[in-house]
Each structure stands twice: as C-alpha cells, then as structure tokens.
Amino acid sequence: MAGLELLYRSAQAAISCPQDALVCGIHWELIQHGYRCLGAGEQPGPDERKSELLPAGWEANREVYTLRYKSTDDAQELLLKAIVVEDSMILNVMDRASQKVADVTLAVADYINPEHLNDFHKVYKNMEELKTRIASGIISPLGVPTEKARKESQAEKKDPVSPQDYNPLGIPPRHPAGMRAPSWPSPLNPFAVGGQDLDPLGGRSGGMIVDPLRSGFPQPGIDPSAGLPGRLPPGAVPPGARFDPFGPLGAGRAGPDPDHLPPPGYDDMFM
C-alpha cells in the first residue's frame, strides 16, 4: 500500500471527512487496474493529462464526487460519480465509449475509521474486501483495460517444463526434441503413373518383378531394348514399350534355380 500512502499524504490537506478518505481509496484501486485520472467534473478541462494523483478540486462537491479516468492504452474512458447517501456511498461508473454502466454501494464505516483521518496507518480497514468489491462490481463488468490484461496473461504463462514436472505417463511428442522429422521422398510426377508397367524390371522405379532370391537388394537395371542374351535380339523391344519378361532373368544366378524342379504331376498327361 506504499502507493496509496503517498497518494493519501499528497491529498491529506483536502481530506476532512470519511467520504474523502474512501474516495481516495477508490481512486487508488482504479489506478491499480490500469486507469489514470484526467480531471474532476463531467467536462474536460484545458491541458488535461493522465495522472495517478487526485486532480485539483476533486473534493469540491462532497455530495457527488465526479472524476474522469482513461485507461493507459486510451481504449476506455470512465466517468465516476460517487454519490453520498447518509452513511453509504453509491459508486456509478460509465464507460463513455460502450455506454456500459456499473454501480456498487459501499458502507463508509466498513472501510474508514473516521477518528483517524490524520493517520494513514489507521484510517483504512478491510482493504482486501474493498479491492474485491471494486474489482467485481466495476472493473469486471466494464472490462479490464487491454494493456493490463496483456500483462496479466503474460505473467500467467507457464515456464518451460522442468525435469521435476516431467510426467512419465504423458504422451510423448511425435518427434522428440532435438530430432529432425524424417525426410520423405517427393511425390511422383503425376505423369509417371503406370511407370512400373513400362519398366517392370525396375530400371527407373520400383518395377513389377519380385525376385524371391534377391528381394530387398538393389539390382542393376536391365534395358529390354538392348535385348536379352539367348532370348531376344537387340531392338526386339522398342524403347519405352510395355514389356512382360518371360522365363528366369539373368545368367549364372546364385543359389538354386526357382524352376529347377518341375511341378508335381508334370508328366501326367491328364493334368
């Protein structure tokens, strides 16, 4: 409450009744919520500047205290009227831009000790309750100033997860920190659809022929247009033509020939 103490001491010469002291406390709560005072009265005066202090003549009318405020981001301008009714004070606040109105009724004796107006350390009481009433009855209905809301949201952001916050049951990220995502090959050219039909031996792409003895191992490409030794002469297959190979490919194949044994009943004429 150091700021309120400085404010109270700066205005103490004008404070002569409990209502003055309460207005001073209400003014400070608005300052704490991102507003600055422009002046007293409903109409603006010459050379007005936003200030945290109470303006000159703020206590001129002790039946209706009238003060104007503007948020630090200039988005809102408030007109405060504190109306004294016997032992109570009715706060009526209007946002001039949106025409929203909020009001709160306070019992002066709940927050001010009238016998200690000259002693700041004893004049106020139940300040936490007063803060809550102002925040819930005025600030929330009218909206928190943008700059103050931004600062509060930044303060509420959590720090990066520390080791003690690690949750072993949590779902790990798709790509652990420090690791790069796998680089996938670019999609095929749409005009290359059917390339496996034109190149079944896999000279340019995946091919259609699966060799059970060499599956999964890269093989040198075979150009059918160059001919197949012992089977097709060079030029028998035009370049780029569809070609369906026949018989086992290649000479000197390692391991057993897939066709080294005839199928069962090969010699059975009735098969």
Give all domains of the chain, ordered by start, each with its CATH number: 4-55+63-142 (3.40.1000.30)
* Pairwise pLDDT comparison (220 vs 31), residue with the higher score: 31
pLDDT over 90 at 267, yes or no: no
Distance, CA of 174 to CA of 181 (rounded, Å):
9
* Pairwise pLDDT comparison (53 vs 241), residue with the higher score: 53
| Residue 55, pLDDT score | 94
pLDDT over 60 at 176, yes or no: no
Residue 106 has phi, psi (to 5 degrees) of -120, 140
| Residue 234, pLDDT score | 77
Distance, CA of 49 to CA of 87 (rounded, Å):
33
| Residue 208, pLDDT score | 57
Q: Name the band, by pLDDT with cuts 50, 70 and 90, for residue 248.
A: low
Which of 2-6, 72-76, 138-142, 205-209 comes out lowest in average pLDDT?
205-209
pLDDT over 70 at 214, yes or no: no
Distance, CA of 23 to CA of 175 (rounded, Å):
58
Q: What is the DSSP letter of 23?
A: H
Distance, CA of 4 to CA of 32 (rounded, Å):
10
pTM reported for the whole predicted model: 0.55
| Residue 171, pLDDT score | 67
pLDDT over 90 at 70, yes or no: yes
Both structure tokens of 21: 């002291």
